[in-house]
Amino acid sequence: MPKTAELKELSKRINRTVMERLSSMLSHAKLRKIYCAKALMAVIYVINRSPSTTLACDVPQRVWTGRDASYRHLRVFGCLAYIHVAKDKRGKLDPNTRLCIFIGCGEDEFSYRPWDLVDKKVIGKS
C-alpha cells in the first residue's frame, strides 16, 4: 500500500537481513563480488526454509507446499565440492572428478548447484 510506514519499515528490515546474510556468506566463503547473484539465490533459499515470526514461527516452504521442509541436503555455501565426470566425458587417464565450489541447492532437495572453477559456469541444471 502506498504511504504505509509499517510496510516501508518491514521491507527495509527484510532487505537489511538479506544483505547482511549475503555479505556474511561471501565473506565466509572468501568469494569475490561476482558470485553475488549466486549467493543471493542461496540466501533466499535458506530464508524460505527458516521459521518466520510473521507466520507464527512456521516455515514459509511448509506453508506454500504443505510439506515439511527438509534440511538434510543443506551444505555450507562456498565449500569445495567434487563432481563426478561420466566415463564418456573423460579419457582413460583423466581424473574421475572435477573441483567445484558449492553455490547453493537446485530447485528441489535432490540437486545442487556447483560452480566449475575451470569452465566458470554452473554444472547441470540451473
- Which pLDDT does position 126 carry in this prediction? 42
- Which pLDDT does position 109 carry in this prediction? 63
Measuring CA to CA, which residue among 81, 88, 126 is closest to residue 102?
A: 81
> With a cut of 70, which residues of the chain have pLDDT below it?
1-4, 6, 108-109, 124-126
Q: Are the CB atoms for 43 and 25 separated by under 8 Å?
A: yes
C-alpha distance across the termini of the chain, in Å? 34
pTM, two decimals, is 0.74
Q: What angle do CA 25, 27, 40 make, to 5 degrees?
A: 35
- Which pLDDT does position 2 carry in this prediction? 67
Compute and round to an integer the Cα radius of gyration of the chain.
Answer: 18
